[in-house]
Structure 1
Amino acid sequence: MNEQELHERIKRMCEGDEESFRQVYEHIKLHVYRTVSLLVRNPADVNDVVSEIFTELFRSMPNYRYNKPFRSWLNGLIIRQASSWNRSLWRSFRLLDRSKHLNVSEPSVNVDDHILQDEEHQFLINLIIKLPYKQKSVLILRYFQDYSFEEMADMLNIPVGTVKSRHHSAIRTLRQKANLQDLIYPNKEGLLNV
């Protein structure tokens, strides 16, 4: 589905056309699920976050500006919802930790097998998932969604320099954690070579 067809379906969806909503949903559901899988620490929370994203998508659709690419707008929505979810979980964790009612262990990281097929990619994904949220979101948008630094800056409402700084910090952290100088290195376009 190209951008123009998507815009037509979005307009009809805003008018209450359920079939258009179903078509938009079918077009974006895998993208949303994969992105959330990479942004949310606990795999058990992925479906809840995806549901919240589609609820917010339906609620926010009248605010969509057709002069911007839909996928950029959608990714901004995904990032905000995942960030909100992670923040609310962190607040809950701190409250529980203070009251000493919960014995917390490190969450296990397990991305669905259909996302990545070989072990090197899975290893790299596991390292990315463990990064701080701001670094992780920049890497996911850059390497899994193919956005430029300028597009990410616009989507995240931060300066391009901040995006580049987060990107550089994330790459440096990945190298330090994995000691993979030969496996992970950015080429002159800033893309990961794996």
Structure 2
Amino acid sequence: MSIDEYIKRSIDDKADRALVLEMIMDEYGTVLKRLIYSYVKDWNTASDLTQDTFITVYEKLENFQQRSSFKTWIFTIAINKSKDYLKSWHYRNLIMNEKIFLLKKDRGKDPEAAFLEQDEHHELLKTIESLTVKYREVFLLHYYQDFGLAEISEALNIPISTVKTRLYRGQEKVRRILSASERGEQHG
């Protein structure tokens, strides 16, 4: 029996909820944490938000109306938690302090040392992370979480045509950035 089928059968069974939550955490824990990390860029915060997502799922499980797949529903919760965190005062204050710290730290670094620190293996991921959230989230859901266009549309609450446009434009931006990088140009 798939996790979706098991969830459908046990939504109203309060005694089974702990077992269902454990199954959900086993099934989705790692991918949700990676997804959340793609938004917040901090593993500790991603862990906290992943736990918050599971708490919300546990509390709202009986409200799951099965209009979409369970995967889409839980990813939507995780995305919304991530976006709420990014809008929070705590996050904006943290980012401002971090930028000030990095400015002070980088003053003594020469350009060659900074270049050598970049690992070619992570170039694509860094490029994807450099995209604005609206392109990055569609890109990551499609290519890294294997969401279809309809699932992305539902998870982000945007039309499929918008999903297609953002996916196409995100791909174009990644291509431009990577080709500029190969030519030795800087992107910004």
Q: What interval of TM-score do these two structures reach, taking the shorter chain for normalisation?
A: 0.7 to 0.9
TM superposition score normalised by structure 1 = 0.71
1:168 paired to 2:168: yes
Q: Summarize the Cα distance change of 1:23–1:91 in structure 2 as closer, same or farther, 3 Å threshold.
A: closer
Alpha carbons 1:72, 1:155 under 8 Å: kept: yes
Mean CA deviation greater in 159-168 or 2-11: 2-11
1:134 paired to 2:134: yes
Where do 1:6-85 residues align within 5 Å? 6-12=7-13, 14=14, 17-85=17-85
Larger CA Rg, structure 1 vs 2: 2
RMSD, matched Cα: 3.1
**CA shift at 1:121, angstroms?**
6.3
- Listed as ranges, the gaps of 5+ residues in structure 1 are 107-118, 183-194
Paired AA for residue 100 in structure 2: N
- Listed as ranges, the gaps of 5+ residues in structure 2 are 104-118, 183-188
TM superposition score normalised by structure 2 = 0.73
Which residue in 1 is equivalent to 2:146? 146
| Number of residue-to-residue matches in the alignment | 166
- For 1:181 and 1:6, the matched residues in 2 are separated by 47
**CA shift at 1:10, angstroms?**
4.0
1:105 paired to 2:106: no
Render the CA deviation track for 1:25-51: whole Å, top value 9, x for unaligned: 222212212222222222332112112
Alpha carbons 1:10, 1:21 under 8 Å: kept: no
**CA shift at 1:90, angstroms?**
7.5
